[in-house]
Every structure is written in structure tokens, then in C-alpha cells.
Amino acid sequence: MNLGHEDEYTEFKKSTSELKEGMESIASILNKHGEGTLYFGVGPDGEVRGQDVSETTLRKISQAIGNSIDPAIYPIVAHEKTPDGKDYVKVAFSGNDGPYACNGKFRMRVADEDVLMSPRELRLSFRDSESRLNPWDSRVSAKTTKDVDKPTLQRFVERGREKGRIRFEYAGVKDALSRLGLMEGDHLLNAGAALFCPSPIDDLKMGVFASHARTEIIGLQHESGTLFELVRSAEMFVISNTRSRVDTSGPGASDVYPEIPTKALHEALMNAYAHRDWEYGGAVMVEQFNDAVEIISPGWFIEGQDPEAHLSGKDASSVSRNKLLTQTLYKSGDIESQGTGIKRIKDECDEAGIKVEYVEVPSGTKLIFHRNDAFGQSLVIDTPTGDKGDVVVNDGVNVVVNDEVKKPLSLTVRQKQVLDIIMRDPSVTASGIAEECGITERSAQRNIRKLRESGMISREGSDKTGVWRVHI
């Protein structure tokens, strides 16, 4: 009988003569994943070879675990038998009080090996353990209701009601926060403060650089505000400094294809804040180069979470270091079900022909959107009629449509924001734009009018049921 192969969750030992090594594997696996299985009487190839198993054998294993592993764990030690009568031992263990030491030494599971933890890994593991018992986002902050941006909170509740995930009506700051589970006494929990209280420091740093050496700076921008304001600012920064491709070959109005898919960009930025390590400090950074757009968020993926597994869709687990924060964002629809966001980012980028990857850096997690070189030049699309029509466009960059060079586009920051919303949601109304921008409906209508007068957008159908078309 074969039990498969060793991995980060599973260890095989030929017999209890390797009891000491088995204890090291238990601690290593616990420190990486919090659960696993150890077998005695099984070869490294997964083949059950068998060994003598008695009550004394089981007691010896249990005593070794009790004497070697600290903090204490309470595994299930079971006598197993193959169909052909070979005896072996299965030890199933779990624990969330780590990091775990084996005879005073701390190890971490790497593939099928038990590796001594570095001082930094050990320090982070102790901190993560404390965070699991007392998560940052559930702790009481110094913020009170007077620090809350009321329009942001009200719009949040309204979005949640539209989604059907919030059932109460907005009736004031304290009432809403209490119903959302974000208050303790007169103070907000950290999750509530992060969402609805403007930060007094620059929590978003953005830059455009001529090269990855960062010696030639093209543009820098620092922002503070609520989480939602920071995400919007970052979106507009990326959109303003990357290109869009407009296909004019089809009948009627043009179709606009942003270089970085807007849905993927939005999801990536929301994740950068929702899943960041808030205790680490530092700002979320957005850096743009001629070949990439990079989003750096403090803190790497928590233990047991593999970005490659999420990108491939093999892992859709909902484990988060900021469970209260992410659960709150789900109520408004600002993020969807946990564990699926990374796969949605990849799917959007795959469709657009954009490579996306996650890289661990000293400051935390770096998400890289590799820019498509094709967007750096005017493109040509062959249509069924043989016509040519396509465009590369950016603010301050000449627009090429059907070989005709037009004047550079010149938009205000607000107009760019409105245009981005329309590109993401062609059915959006003026009131919807006002809500997302955090402005009055009158102001939204004024910006829409400017875009219509410039000929960049038009409306098909009624104001309530029609759709926007983009003509750049």
C-alpha cells in the first residue's frame, strides 16, 4: 500500500527509530501550516513497510511529543493496518499557538525538508502568532466618531444596501458603525478607523520612473485620506500614466481597452490595502516604469498562503490577516468572496494579454503588471472589410485614429476619474458617478457635460436605462 509522497504537510519515517527526526518534522510543519500528518512504518517513497506497533509504541510516541514540542499540542496517535496486514502509525496534529519549538530549536517546513528558522522568520512568526490571538483590525483604536468621514460611511452603507448585504438604513455614524461591528464603547476598532477615518500621514506614494534604477524621476505624488480615496487616487494615477487602445474599426462608437484592465487594477489596489500588514507601517506604493506597473503592499502573504496557488486557481482559501476588515468590505461589494480576487486579477490580465506576478520584497508584497509592448506604439487591426483602425492614447500623447493625428487629450483629474468610471461601467448614471467620486450630482453632471461637449462620450438611450459610448 502506498500513501503518496512527502510534502509540506506530510512526513514519512521508516520506524520509531527515527522518533527524534519525526518530532522535528511535527514542529516544522506546525510552524508553516498549523496542521499535518506524520507516519511511522512508511518509507520515503510512501510505501508502507510496516513495523511492530503495541500500546507501548503508541505511548512512547505520545510521550516524545509531550516532552519535545513546546507549546504543547494534543495529536491523535493511531495504530493503522494495511489490507495485507502491515502495521504502521499515523500521527495527526494541529495547533495555532506557534511558533513551535522542538527541543528548543525552531524549524520551518520547506518542501519536504525541516529547515532552521532565521532570526527574522522567528520574529515574524512570534508576531503573527500574537496577531492571530489578537488581530490588529479587531483592536480598539484611538479614533472616535468625530474622526469619521461621514459621506464615506454613508455611501458605504448605501452600496451595501444595493448589494443586499446590509439590511439597515443609515441613521448616523455611531449607529452604522455599531451595526457593522466596528465600535467598542466610544472608539472605533482599527478596521473601522482604516476604512472611514482619513489618515493624517501619506498612506499612498506613487511615482513614474524612467528606469528601474529610479534615478530619473518623471513624476511623484503622495496622498492621504480614507482607504477608498486612496484606491481611487491610485487608479487615476495609473490610468493617467498608461495608455488605452481604442478600436474604431467596428460600426458605431469606439471600444476602449485600457493597457492595465481596470477591474484587475481596482482589485489589486483593494487587496493591497485590505490584506496589508498594518502593524508593519509604511505606505502602499505604486511605481510605474516603461515595462511594468508595480504595486507594493507592506507584508508578505501569511503563513500557508501561496500566491502561485491563488493565481492558478488551485487555492481559493479565505484566510486573511485582516478578517474583520475584509468581511466589512465584502458587505459593500468593494471586494467579493475572499480567496478569489487574485484569480480574477489573473483572468482579466490573461484576456488582455498582460502577464501578472507576485514577488516577495523586503518591504512586503509586490504585484507586477508587465506592460504590453504593443501599447507603446500605434497599432493596426485588420477588420473584415480591410479597414484599419486602432489607437494608442494617453493624456498629452497624440491620438492616432485611422492614420489621422489628432490633438493631444487634455483632461482634469476629475474628468479622468469620470471617464474611467464610464469605461468600467457604461450603464452608470450621474448619481452613481457622484457617489463613486464623492462629489455632488450637480458636479458629476458638469464633468459629464464637458466630456460630451468634447465629443469623447455620448449617451445611447435614456438617462436611467441607456449606456455610455466612448469616442476618443
CA 151 to chain CA mean position, Å:
26
3-state DSSP: the chain helix, strand, coil percent, rounded to 5?
35, 25, 40
The alpha carbon dihedral of 284, 285, 286, 291 has a sign of negative
Instruction: Point out the least confidently predicted range of 53-62, 361-370, 399-408.
Output: 399-408
- The pLDDT assigned to 9 comes to 93
* DSSP structural state of residue 385: T
Residue 337 in 3-state DSSP?
coil
Which H or E run contains 335? none
Quote the CA–CA distance of 184 and 177 in Å, as a whole number.
10
pLDDT in tens, 176-220: 999 999 999 999 999 999 999 998 677 899 999 988 888 888 888
- Residue 304 CB-half CA count within 13 A: 20
Place 286 in a pLDDT band, splitting at 50, 70 and 90. very high
What is the pLDDT confidence band of residue 308, given thresholds at 50, 70 and 90? Answer: low
DSSP state of 69: E
Q: Is the pLDDT of residue 389 over 80?
A: no
Contacts of 104 (CB under 8 A, 6+ apart): none
Tens-place pLDDT, residues 13-26? 999 999 999 999 99
Say what the pLDDT of residue 363 is. 79
What value does the mean pLDDT take over residues 349-363? Answer: 86
Scan for cell 490633438, then name that residue.
Answer: 407
Quick check: 392 pLDDT over 60?
no
Cell readout for 128 is 503573527
Indicate the average pLDDT of the chain.
82
Contact 63, 91 (CB under 8 A): no
- Residue 377 scores a pLDDT above 70: no
CATH of domain 379-470: 1.10.10.10
Q: Which of 165-169, 278-282, 356-360 has the lowest mean pLDDT?
A: 278-282
Do the domains at 10-133 and 204-243+253-375 have one common CATH topology? no
Specify the higher pLDDT residue, 58 or 133.
58
Give the relative orientation of helices 430-437 and 413-424 as an angle to the nearest 10 degrees.
120
Does 306 have pLDDT greater than 80?
A: no
Cell digits for 276? 496589508
How is the chain split into domains, by residue range? 10-133, 137-196, 204-243+253-375, 379-470
CATH topology of domain 10-133: 3.30.950
3-state secondary structure of 386: coil
Contacts of 350 (CB under 8 A, 6+ apart): none
For residues 403-407, give the mean pLDDT: 37
The answer to whether 281 and 298 are in contact (CB under 8 A) is yes
Tens of pLDDT, residue by residue over 76-90, are 999 999 999 999 999
Q: How far apart are CA 218 and CA 288, in angstroms?
A: 10
The SS3 call for residue 358 is strand
Give the confidence band of 223 by pLDDT, cuts at 50, 70, 90: confident
CATH number of 204-243+253-375: 3.30.565.60
Longest Cα–Cα distance of the chain, Å, equals 88
The stretches of 353-440 forming alpha helices (DSSP H) are 413-424, 430-437
* C-alpha span between 146 and 197 (Å, rounded): 9
Residues 6+ apart with CB under 8 A from 298: 276, 277, 278, 280, 281, 282, 283, 284, 363, 364
Q: Is the Cα torsion angle 369, 374, 378, 382 positive or negative in sign?
A: negative
Paired sense of beta strands 467-470 and 457-460, if any? antiparallel
Is the pLDDT confidence value at 124 over 80?
A: no
Q: Where are the alpha helices (DSSP H) in 303-412?
A: 307-312, 323-332, 341-352
